[in-house]
Amino acid sequence: MGAQTEAFLTEALFQPIKLGRIELANRMAMAPLTRSRADDDLVPTEMVVEYYRQRASVGLIIAEATQVSETAQGYTNTPGVYTPEQIAAWKTVTDAVHAQGGKIFLQIWHTGRMSHSHFQPDNQAPVAPSAIAANAKTYINGQGYVECSLPRALEASEIPEIVNDFRVAAANAIKAGFDGVEVHGAHGYLLDAFLRDGTNKRTDAYGGSIENRARFLLEVMAAVTAEIGADRVGVRLAPVSPVNDAVESNPQPLFEYVVRELEKLHPVYIHVVEGYTGGPRDNVPFDYEALHRLY
């Protein structure tokens, strides 16, 4: 790369850009990072306010993964966005970011099998597409790292309730002052686990074919975009990341189908994690440009 080209690209990073209905001050974004700084009621604390205030000069902050419901938790002190107290606390965060001229989306998630019964109401089993335990650990205060619990397979009749949890969480995020949301469809969490043939062994309308395995994610995206507008909704995907024991035998056709169907819903962005987070980009060969051509 020549010096002039490099200077041009660097200058372009600092130019404003339109993202849906908002304008970003520059073309840099902060990816979502789990901080585990909520209190025991999963309410963001003053430390969370200051953390995001300090980073508000970036064009777009995508705030940390946040539970859509009581059953969505998988880690200690990760925030929620389903109680009035949580919503009110997030409003102090968004006010702080906006006061600095920043824009902020909230990543909404359900951890699925990446959880432990300790975090579930009445110590129940976490939920997943199939009753297959993750070869992974989570952290519990006072106990340290523990193996994730064996999940139970979601009944098909339960899936609409979780779709609705995402819809309500998106509405709550807007109520809390966020400029939009990012649906977490990556890294072995519930929606991603439904996508992958290594974690989804179902034989109903949510398992088997690529179309069936993608159904849950697409239903969530349809509900969320209908609730708050597609121009305020992004989604995160990680086609070949093995994080959290996420296994897929043939990711290229799967994720090309997913992106093709997402395009019909017109999300404001698709956030693709290339390769292995914390590891090599080419851990599994994958044509990322093929996804770009579809969206």
The token duo for 121 is: 């109401």
Residue 35, domain member (yes or no): yes
How far is C-alpha 68 from the geometric centre of its chain's CA atoms? Answer: 11
Quote the CA–CA distance of 247 and 181 in Å, as a whole number.
Answer: 26
pLDDT grade, residue 186 (50/70/90)? Answer: very high
- Residue in 51, 52, 189, 206 annotated catalytic: 189
Report the number of distinct structural domains present in the chain: 1
Identify the domain containing residue 159 by its residue range. Answer: 22-294
CATH code of 208's domain? 3.20.20.70
Q: pLDDT by residue (tens digit) across 117-152?
A: 999 999 999 999 999 999 999 999 999 999 999 999
Residue 163, domain member (yes or no): yes
List of residues 6+ apart from 124 with CB closer than 8 A: 71, 117
What stretch of H or E contains 153? strand 152-153
> Pairing mode, if any, of strands 233-237 and 152-153?
unpaired
Residue pointed to by tokens 């107290």? 85
Active site residue 189: yes
Residue 44, domain member (yes or no): yes
In a 3-state reduction of DSSP, which class is residue 230?
helix
The token duo for 165 is: 């949890």
Residue 203, domain member (yes or no): yes
Residue 9, domain member (yes or no): no
Quote the CA–CA distance of 66 and 148 in Å, as a whole number.
Answer: 19
Residue 89, domain member (yes or no): yes
Quote the CA–CA distance of 78 and 80 in Å, as a whole number.
Answer: 7
Q: pLDDT by residue (tens digit) across 204-238?
A: 999 999 999 999 999 999 999 999 999 999 999 99
Residue 15, domain member (yes or no): no
Sign of CA dihedral 66, 71, 74, 79: positive
Residue 11, domain member (yes or no): no
